[in-house]
Amino acid sequence: MSISIAVNGKRHLLTAPADTPLLYVLRNDLQLNGPKFGCGEAQCGACTVLIGNQATRSCVLPIGAVGAAQVTTIEGLGKGKRLHALQKAFLAEQAAQCGYCSSGMLMAAKALLDRSPYPDEATIRREMAGQKCRCGVHNRIVRAIQRAAEELRG
């Protein structure tokens, strides 16, 4: 079956069953390796991408359900060599230790800041609770999101 999806501003025509998880298409067909396979059950957040402006677990979303929505992965977050404010903040706060969860964390944080540009610490912690980090840098991640929010507000 041919399916057309838009990823990071570019349309792709794929031949795959409609029930193929989006994560598999991103990694295997489009060579976008930012989203990671963590648990395969939408529990860890390593596979988080944006569908429109909504943070979505790509490991359980069938490509047939994407429709005309824009998919954004970590590879589409910055503009060329110019990093997004969240990426710069994660670097400044050293919020990525092993880096495995970082892509999902960044995409979930982007969705949060898009809908709530003035989040307090409690809101950030609540919204990011579903994103798991085994390295334990959650406090740095919270600080990075706060820093990025300030920069984005100008």
Least confident of 8-12, 33-37, 130-134: 130-134
What SS3 class is residue 60?
coil
pTM for the model stands at: 0.95
pLDDT tens across 106-150, in order? 999 999 999 999 999 999 999 999 999 988 899 999 999 999 999
Tokens for 47?
């596979």
Q: What is the mean pLDDT of residues 90-118?
A: 95
Give mean pLDDT, residues 17-26. 97
What is the topology classification, in CATH, of domain 85-153? Answer: DNA polymerase; domain 1 (1.10.150)
Q: Average of pLDDT values for 77-102? A: 93
Domain borders along the chain are: 2-76, 85-153
What pLDDT was estimated at residue 4? 95
Element (H, E) at 108: helix 102-115
More confident residue, 24 or 134: 24
Q: Would you state the pLDDT for residue 1?
A: 82
Q: What pLDDT, in 10s, does the model give residues 38-76?
A: 999 999 999 999 999 999 999 999 999 999 999 999 999
pLDDT surpasses 90 at 79 = no
- Which pLDDT score, from 0 to 100, does residue 80 have? 81
Which pLDDT score, from 0 to 100, does residue 81 have?
87
- Return the DSSP state at 58: T
The SS3 assignment for 49 reads strand
- CATH number 3.10.20.30 given to 2-76: yes
Q: Shortest CA distance to 100 belongs to which of 30, 28, 61, 48?
A: 48
Place of tokens 């596979």: 47
Is residue 57 helix, strand or coil?
Answer: strand
Q: How far apart are the first and last CA of the chain?
A: 46
Q: Can you give the pLDDT at residue 105? A: 97
CA atoms of 122 and 42, how far apart (whole Å): 23
